[in-house]
Amino acid sequence: MTTLTYSDYLQVETLLSLQETRSPDTASQAVVLAEHFFIVTHQSCELWLKQITIDLDAAAKAMMPPHGPDDDELALEFLQRSAELLRVLHDQLIALEKLPLRHFAEFRPFLDGASGAQSAQFRLLARLLGGDRQEGRLYQAFEMLAMHREITVSDICALGPAAGVLNRIADALMDVANGYWRWKMTHLALVSKMVGNRGGTGGSSGVEYLARRVTLPFPRLRLLRAQVHDTLLSESPSAGSE
């Protein structure tokens, strides 16, 4: 019987063979290595996006009926892990800032029409999180959980720690949303630094297109949390003093 090895388990040989550069044979080694770095970074992002989207999907399912006794805590675990992985995505972009502009400009034409805007996982994540004006599936699931627990999201925000795991889920949702926004803003800044006002490789307007896609998820939750300030001020003994 063959013993499973680390390499076989992770399919390392296949994984390390997936970086196929497009730079021509006449390109310098520095350009080829820069393109390799570019590919590795984006492939890593896609892997982390896969984990984030399946975790957020699992969190949404855990918050929707039927509920098990541990589903609330399980949803919280998925959300907290996703928030940390969005930090990893952000750090991937920070690393990509070490891509030399002169090398990127040399191999970029060989990307042809390939563009990050074509990522199916980007779109899936956007559907889960929603945007500035509409709620995604994740927040809708949280509202269903609150309803099942016979409490409103507004009351959860007002109660704070007294709402227990529901309050921790609300905080985790905000951590996910802010991590997503930070990642998007860093990507926008990186693209602006590297290509300026040039169009995107996929035919988009480039920086302008990306700027329109930078959103802050969970607008309803943000509104309800903001109202806590008004409530506390109105209840303050000094609220009516002159």
Q: What is the DSSP string of 5-17?
A: PHHHHHTHHHHTT
Q: Where do we find the tokens 């393109």?
A: 35
Domain count, the chain: 1
Residue 238 lies in a domain: no
Does any domain span residue 5? no
| In a domain? residue 94 | yes
Instruction: Tell me whether residue 16 is in a domain.
Output: no
pLDDT digits (tens, 9 = 90+) for 122-174: 889 989 999 878 899 999 999 999 999 999 999 999 999 999 999 999 999 99
Task: Quickly count: other Cβ atoms within 10 Å of residue 221's Cβ.
Answer: 21
* 69 backbone φψ class: left, alpha, beta (φ>0; ψ -120 to 50): alpha
Lowest mean pLDDT among 2-11, 86-95, 106-115, 206-215: 206-215
Q: Which two tokens stand for residue 71?
A: 């589903």
pLDDT band at 119 (very low <50, low <70, confident <90, very high): confident
Confidence band of 107 (pLDDT split at 50, 70, 90): very high
Identify whether 237 is part of a domain.
Answer: no
Global pTM reads 0.88
Q: Measured between alpha carbons, how far is 73 from 52 in angstroms, rounded to an integer?
A: 17
Residue 211 identity (one-letter amino acid): A
Handedness of CA 54, 55, 61, 64 (dihedral sign): negative
Residue 59 lies in a domain: yes
Cα 134 off chain centre by: 17
**Is residue 142 included in any domain, yes or no?**
yes
**Top mean-pLDDT range of 1-5, 11-15, 209-213:** 11-15
- The CATH number of whichever domain residue 92 belongs to comes to 1.20.58.480
Q: Please provide residue 130's backbone torsions phi and psi, each rounded to the nearest 5 degrees.
A: 80, -165
User: In this model, does residue 242 exceed pLDDT 50?
Assistant: no
Evaluate whether residue 4 is within a structural domain.
no
Model confidence pLDDT, tens digit, residues 7-53: 999 999 999 999 999 999 999 999 999 999 999 999 999 999 999 99
Under a CB-based contact definition with an 8 Å cutoff, are residues 166 and 173 in contact? no
Residue 110 CB-density burial (10 A; 0-12 exposed, 13-18 middle, 19+ buried) = middle
Residue type, 186: T
User: Would the pLDDT of 202 be above 50?
Assistant: yes
